[in-house]
Every structure is written in structure tokens, then in C-alpha cells.
Amino acid sequence: MQASQPEPLALDEPLILPLAPEAVACGFPSPAEGYWSGDLDLIKHMVRDPASTFVWKAAGHSMTGAGINDGDLLLVDRGIDPIPGKIVIAVVDGEYTVKRLDVIQGRTVLLAENLDYADIVLHEYTEMTVWGVVTWILSSPKIRRGVRPRR
């Protein structure tokens, strides 16, 4: 997707939120011992370097298997090394895309995380640069009623 480059995050003040006293169980519930455990600066927790961190909005469905859905916000850090296995924003022949970076049989491959979409195998004449590495996926929970996970 052709797009202009975003501006770095402008973080003038910390974003302080109350931190719950313990992790919440995803399995069998456990009783909470308290209601407040201190404060958490969300910016310090999520942003390594504000000058190299950007927010991109995801468009499309090729990365749903990685938890990236259409409309999600991606925190992208340009100062992190793009090693195989990381999700990256790449520029391929002048077009932006978000994919998982890998090297297969000596060739750089940008992997789609949805089987309905093809991977991008880079050939010798393909022009590709990694713009940045996705560090966080920000999405709101989807509303689902009467649907249980498959067993």
C-alpha cells in the first residue's frame, strides 16, 4: 500500500495508568488480593525510543494469524534490527506491506499470516527495504455472542 511516511510519536507527558495487583487468569479464575498495585507508565512500557517509534494503521487481512486485523494500530520501531521471525513494515518495489520476515533456503521471504494470501518471495530484481519492526499490536476486543472456541 503506497503511503506517505508518518511522523514520530510526540510524547510530551507520560501516560500513567493504575496497575492491577496481579496477572489476571486466562484459565480458572483466582481471587484478587487487592485492587491497586501502583502505577504503570504505558509509554515507558511500550515505547523503546519515541524518536524512532511510529503508529501505522493496518489495512487488510493477510496478517490475521498473527493477531493483526484490519483497522488495528501497529507500534513500529525503526531502531530495532529486523531479524527473521519479526513482523516488519517492508517497502517492496515502492509499496508498503506488513509481513513476517524470514529467510527460507537462502532467500528473503515476507510471510503472510493468512493462508488465503501468498507470501512475498524476494527475487534478485525485487527492491525491498525494512522500514521498521512491529513492537505492539493495538486492537479492541471483538464483540462475539454465542460463539465458543472450537475444541
Portion of the chain with pLDDT greater than 90, in percent: 53
| Residue 138 amino acid letter | L
Instruction: Exactly one of 4, 52, 57, 99 is catalytic; name it.
Output: 99
* CATH 2.10.109.10 residue window(s) in the chain: 48-138
| Residue 150 amino acid letter | R
Contact of 8 with 50, CB cutoff 8 Å: yes
The predicted structure's pLDDT at residue 3: 54
Beta strands 120-121 and 95-104, pairing class? unpaired
Domain 48-138: which topology? Umud Fragment, subunit A (2.10.109)
Mean local confidence (pLDDT), 113-122: 96
**Average pLDDT, whole number, for the chain?**
85
Helix (H, G, I), strand (E, B) or coil at 103: strand
In this prediction, residue 29 has a pLDDT band, given cuts at 50, 70 and 90, of low
CA distance 9 to 50: 6
The predicted structure's pLDDT at residue 141: 85
Mark whether 99 is an active-site residue.
yes
The predicted structure's pLDDT at residue 130: 97
Q: Which residues contact 102 (CB under 8 A, 6 or more apart)?
A: 84, 85, 108, 109, 110, 111
Mark whether 62 is an active-site residue.
yes
Q: State which H helix or E strand residue 2 sits in.
A: none
The predicted structure's pLDDT at residue 35: 57
Instruction: Exactly one of 4, 44, 57, 62 is catalytic; name it.
Output: 62
